[in-house]
Structure 1
Amino acid sequence: MAPQEFGRLDLSGAIGRYGVSYVRKVCAHAHIPFSENSPDEDIFALDGEIKFIEGSIRVQIKGTTQWTLNGGRSTLAFPVGEDWRKKWRMQHNPAFLIVVLLKREEIDWISYRKSE
């Protein structure tokens, strides 16, 4: 039997997975649970929940290489589609959008230090 070949995520898929993984890592570092919806189950335009003691918040996470805060900019204007707004308005509690900014070159997303 030939060894199974594995595919790679396309760039858009890799950016999306990286964004969610980044939020998961930040939550873990802060000792706060994060629960992710299964892939393609974000029918309410929500990717998961951050679970604080006081209560959970629902979040939509978008990774992007198209936006930057370089050049002295201190705010980000991120376009939100009307379909997301409609789904978020149906929520009893607020939904939050988390935008993870990535450099355009994949090699710049993570830098590993050499071990000694």
Structure 2
Amino acid sequence: MRNPHSGEGATHLHLIATLDPNTAKGRFGVAYVKSIFSQAAVGFNETAPDEDAIAVDGSLEFAIAAARVQIKCSSQFKIAGKSATWDSEIHWRDSWSTSAVPVYFVLVILDYKDPVDWIRHHDAGTDHRAAAFWVRVNGTGAPADKIVVPKTQRLTVATLESWEKEVKSCFIPTIS
């Protein structure tokens, strides 16, 4: 049976897939976040998969300096709600704590488990059926084994304006 939201032939994705489901979800999460960065016209340098020794997926390139970003993607949560909690690995926290610039944890939430439903194609365009939320994970106090991501902190172009100010404050003292 053809899914009416996903385009012709989408039910046969398993015939062409080369990524395992978790890898596909991870790649979708990075691509979704990069689309927001592109909308803001801010560059993103993705860390090579085997080179993420500092527990970040890449650097968001502001003019003054970069912010570091760790991206996770999940269908275990719903977009609606107050927050989502992600387990934090000790080596992530150790790496993040040594960073002199902000490190942001971004959680991309997919309301649908089936990849066919992640993107909706229609005559007026294409819609990502996802949302991203963020929290700063360094320089905010004692690290915790759980990362609580408030859903009031939706990743948008406006978010990047506040991130750029936080990065700038690492180099240029604010005048009170």
Normalised by the length of structure 1, the TM-score is 0.83
What corresponds to 2:60 in structure 1? 50
Give, in whole Å, the separation in 2 of the partners of 1:85 and 1:77.
15
After TM superposition, give the deviation of residue 113 of structure 1 in Å.
Answer: 1.3
Deviating beyond 3 angstroms after TM superposition, the runs of 4 or more aligned structure 1 residues are none
Give, in whole Å, the separation in 1 of the partners of 2:32 and 2:79.
18
After TM superposition, give the deviation of residue 32 of structure 1 in Å.
Answer: 0.9
After TM superposition, give the deviation of residue 7 of structure 1 in Å.
Answer: 6.0
What corresponds to 2:85 in structure 1? 77
Q: Structure 1: which 5+ residue stretches go unaligned?
A: 1-5
Query: Does structure 1 residue 90 correspond to structure 2 residue 87?
Result: no
Q: Partner of 1:112: helix, strand, or coil?
A: strand
Greater shift in the superposed pair: 87-96 or 56-65: 87-96
The one-letter code matched in structure 1 to 2:106 is I
What is the alpha-carbon root mean square deviation over aligned residues?
Answer: 1.7
Q: Structure 2: which 5+ residue stretches go unaligned?
A: 1-15, 125-176
What corresponds to 1:14 in structure 2? 24
Give, in whole Å, the separation in 1 of the partners of 2:100 and 2:26.
26
More strand by share: 2
The one-letter code matched in structure 2 to 1:27 is F
Normalised by the length of structure 2, the TM-score is 0.56
Aligned residues: 108
Give, in whole Å, the separation in 2 of the partners of 1:68 and 1:41.
31
Give, in whole Å, the separation in 2 of the partners of 1:67 and 1:90.
30
The one-letter code matched in structure 2 to 1:37 is T
CA contact (8 A) 2:71 2:108 kept: yes
Give, in whole Å, the separation in 1 of the partners of 2:93 and 2:78.
23
Deviations, residues 42-62 of structure 1 (Å, cap 9, x unaligned) = 111111011122421001111
Give, in whole Å, the separation in 2 of the partners of 1:37 and 1:95.
14
What percent identity do the matched residue pairs reach?
32
